[in-house]
Amino acid sequence: MSETDLHYRIQGGHTLKGDVTMSGSKNAALPLIAGSVLCSGETVLHNVPNLRDVRTLLSTLDFLGAETSFQNGTVRIRTHALQSKAIPMEFVSKLRGSIVLLGPLLARFGVVEMAYPGGCVLGKRPVGAHIAALKQLGAEDMSTDEMLHLQGQLKPGHIILPEFSVTATENAILAAALIEGETRIDMAAGEPHVQDVQNFIQEMGAEVDGVGSHTVRVRGKKKLSCVEHRVPFDYLEAGAFIIAALVTKGKIRLHDVDNEHLLSFLDTVSMLGGITTYNADEKILFVDGELSILKAQDIKTNIFPGFPTDLQAPFGVALTQATGVSRIFERLFEGRMAYLYELEKMGARIEILNSHEALIIGPTPLRGRTVASNDIRAGVAMVIAGLCAQGETLITDIRYIERGYDKLEEKLTKLGAKIEKQEIKVGETVDV
């Protein structure tokens, strides 16, 4: 049987118009699924995006003895028969997010073993922050070159994270929720999906002070209740659609949006010249790309509430359509600039200064080409570039994109884009 690759074929130059509802956040759903481990019973999660990463994590819980189901955006997880056993490479090699099982499994069972998680290649993303956090709660690190292995009865304590790591913060919060007494976490990340994990464990019976701040206090309990919870909207998906509307000079309404999750991004969009209005009562964000006049900007990614690193690549596409010289400074990952080489293939004028900085000179008409999807966020950036390019764009290996965006081509088609998914045999020549 021949191997196949999934591609997007996009005919550019079509204005996006209409209404689109944002999906639930993958980055929120994964730690919530992991958090179900903390209780014995049934956890119900609504508004869960139908993504490969979600299904992979559910399969991992099935392997550990849970009973899971996923239907119409609702996930049910029964953990009565759950046990902690070594999680092999096949479950974690393509999902770095599986690292958020470390804290809850260790807190509930006193031991956790798993192969080292994989995922996108965004430079070095070590697990040291996770191990450091759990060791400060009394865990013993018995890891080898092949397997992560932590064990021990956890006790409340003071965690000082070595960096503002989102997933290490989530691991610390989830572990602390099941430890009786107060645990203080300093250098905690404050992203919206981290805040939702804090809200989730409060619904389960733990207490949290400092939600969203960099110093968080968790008063845990020996026994937590299983709950029903709604996954918040994906602000990263919303950011991508905002940029798509701007570069295609479209007019779209994004439904189920909380602009508090996007304040820094929307402020930068405003400075770029993008016109948006928000209806707080209806949670609708309107983007008017037709009246927007884009001008060069300097952006620096940062931890929340700063400019999100996951929206740097989509914003880079917008800068190719802005008048003047823009500068991007990526503070968090050294592997986030690779998409700029793909934009250059399409005619963008770019000067890469180093692995963290680049200049973009605009406006430049983009031309359809065959380009690669290097990671989840770079992949959606290439989709946005294809939407505003002249002619046809072919985006290869869209499995990355489908790990982060639920029904992307369906939503874009509804808005008037000409995009289709194709299955192509590996090695087959395709024309653009």
pLDDT tens by residue, the chain, 432 residues:
346 688 999 999 999 999 999 999 999 999 999 999 999 999 999 999 999 999 999 999 999 999 999 999 999 999 999 999 999 988 888 787 889 999 999 999 999 999 888 643 333 347 889 999 999 999 999 988 888 999 999 999 999 999 899 999 999 999 999 999 999 999 999 999 999 999 999 999 999 999 999 999 999 999 999 999 999 999 999 999 999 999 999 999 999 999 999 999 999 999 999 999 999 999 999 999 999 999 999 999 998 989 999 999 999 999 999 999 999 999 888 778 889 999 999 999 999 999 899 999 999 999 999 999 888 899 999 999 999 999 999 999 898 898 889 999 999 999 999 999 988 765 555 555
Strands 42-46 and 74-78: antiparallel
Main-chain dihedrals φ then ψ at residue 394, nearest 5 degrees: -115, 120
Q: Which long-range contacts (CB under 8 A, 24 or more apart) does 275-284 make?
A: 276/242, 282/255, 283/255, 283/256, 283/257, 283/258, 284/253, 284/254, 284/255, 284/257
For residue 217 the two structure tokens come to: 């206090």
Catalytic residues: 120
**pLDDT for the residue 125:** 45
Percent helix / strand / coil, the chain, rounded to 5: 35, 30, 40
d(CA 4, CA 383): 20
Give the residue range(s) of CATH 3.65.10.10 domains in the chain.
4-23+233-425, 26-230
The CATH class for the domain spanning 26-230 reads alpha beta
> Dihedral sign, CA of 212, 214, 217, 218?
positive
For residue 314 the two structure tokens come to: 């989509």
**pLDDT for the residue 426:** 59
For residue 156 the two structure tokens come to: 């409340």
Strands 181-186 and 207-209: unpaired
Please count the CA atoms within 13 angstroms of the CA of 242 that sit on its side-chain side: 31
* Burial of residue 284, with CB atoms counted within 10 A of its CB: 0-12 exposed, 13-18 middle, 19 or more buried: middle
**pLDDT for the residue 307:** 94
**pLDDT for the residue 333:** 80
CA 188 to chain centre: 18
d(CA 22, CA 233): 6
The DSSP result for 77-142, as a single string, is EE-TT----PBPHHHHTT-GGGGGGHHHHHHHHSEEEEEPP-----S---SHHHHHHHHTTT-EE-
Angstrom CA distances, 392 to 264, 327, 366, 420, stand at 33, 28, 11, 11
Main-chain dihedrals φ then ψ at residue 325, nearest 5 degrees: -105, 120
The DSSP result for 224-285, as a single string, is ----EEEPPB-HHHHHHHHHHHHHTT-EEEEES--GGGGHHHHHHHHHHT-EEEEETTTTEE
**pLDDT for the residue 131:** 92
This prediction has a pTM of 0.92
CA nearest neighbour of 17 among 286, 420, 418, 416: 416
- Residue found under tokens 């591609």: 7
What residues does 361 pair with on adjacent strands? 325, 349
Hey, is 309 helix, strand or coil?
Answer: helix
- Which superfamily is assigned to 4-23+233-425 in CATH? Enolpyruvate transferase domain (3.65.10.10)
- Residue found under tokens 């922050």: 129
